[in-house]
Amino acid sequence: MNIKSEFGRFLQTRRGQLQPADVGLPMYDQRRRVPGLRRDELAELAGVSESYYTRLEQGRSSNASPEVLDALACTLRLDETERRHLHDLAGTARQSRKVRPRRLAPEQLNAATRQLLDVLGGVPAVVLNRNSDVLAWNPTGHTLFAGHLDPRSPDQPGRRPNTARMVFLDARVRDLYDDWPKKARDVVGKLRFAVGQYPDDPALVELIDELVTRSTEFTALWSEHRVRDWDIATHRMHHPLVGPVDVIQQAMPLPKSRGQRIVIVTTEPDSPSRAALTLLAQLSTSSVEHQESIQKPAYPGSSNAWITSRT
């Protein structure tokens, strides 16, 4: 992935999404040759020369100062997450010649994180790495998000589910979300944010290449250069076991973990969604206890069921 090109494309795309009226400029000519602001208009508003801004957008200059980047972010009406992304892209562009991409060893969970998953009990929780691979989930988290998959798959690096891949390429996961386009935009925005932070990660590059190749919907959203940080998200889910559930997903970084985060799901107290999630937790626990009691391997064909056998 050419990070200089990513930096320039981000500027160009966001410039095209601004209209002159958005920044207080008169609209003299309704038949403009380009969508959004022209380069000269943006450069003037940001206080830089047009030639310098053009070099930035074309990837021919990587020496923009923090002050210039902040001026561009202000002119482009970027929010805080987008501003950080712009700085990330610019910083990595300056160092791109010094960094050699290298594949990291498969990530593992530390004992403290596994204890945290156990303590959460019936509260759905999933641990993800910076590429959105599932490193671990508790029984309720597994049943809520991907009960049709083998619950042991996160323990095997070569089989780990990836939430971005599931949202775009797994019909069962897609059907979980009442507003799938919103969920899809969130996923793409978080991958965009990860690219700015970890441009030299080959696994991240491969994931994006795969999604661009296999999903036209992903490709269209990726071209918008929208950025989203991990924080709080709300979704209405339609679960095959308990019906509609309005969930609140909170993502929190894990200390000393190179970009790992835990996603915890809650619901409003005394609501039908809380009752549905409580029932789901009971079903998940009952399934685990039953499978542990019979002490036999999972039948391969059981992956078609929503709650997969556990050993």
Q: Tens of pLDDT along 85-97?
A: 898 888 765 554 4
Q: How far apart are CA 244 and CA 241, in angstroms?
A: 9
Residue 65's pLDDT is what?
86
Reported as a single tens digit per residue, the pLDDT across 57-79 is 887 776 788 889 999 999 999 98
Closest by Cα among 75, 58, 60, 69 to 91: 69
Sign of the Cα torsion 36, 38, 42, 45 reads: negative
Residue 60, SS3 per DSSP:
coil
pTM of the entire predicted model: 0.79
Reported as a single tens digit per residue, the pLDDT across 231-272 is 899 999 999 999 999 999 999 999 878 789 999 999 999 999
Is residue 137 within 8 A of residue 160, CB to CB? The reply is no
Q: How far apart are CA 291 and CA 297, in angstroms?
A: 9
Is residue 191 within 8 A of residue 132, CB to CB? The reply is yes
Q: How far apart are CA 192 and CA 204, in angstroms?
A: 10
Exposed, middle or buried, 285 (CB in 10 Å: 0-12/13-18/19+)?
middle
Q: Cα 49 to chain center, whole Å?
A: 35
Neighbours of 170 (CB within 10 A): 17
Domains of the chain are: 3-95 (1.10.260.40), 111-304 (3.30.450.180)
In terms of average pLDDT, the best of 25-39, 46-60, 71-85, 235-249 is 235-249
Q: Cα 149 to chain center, whole Å?
A: 20
pLDDT at 309 over 70: no
Closest by Cα among 96, 102, 105, 88 to 194: 88
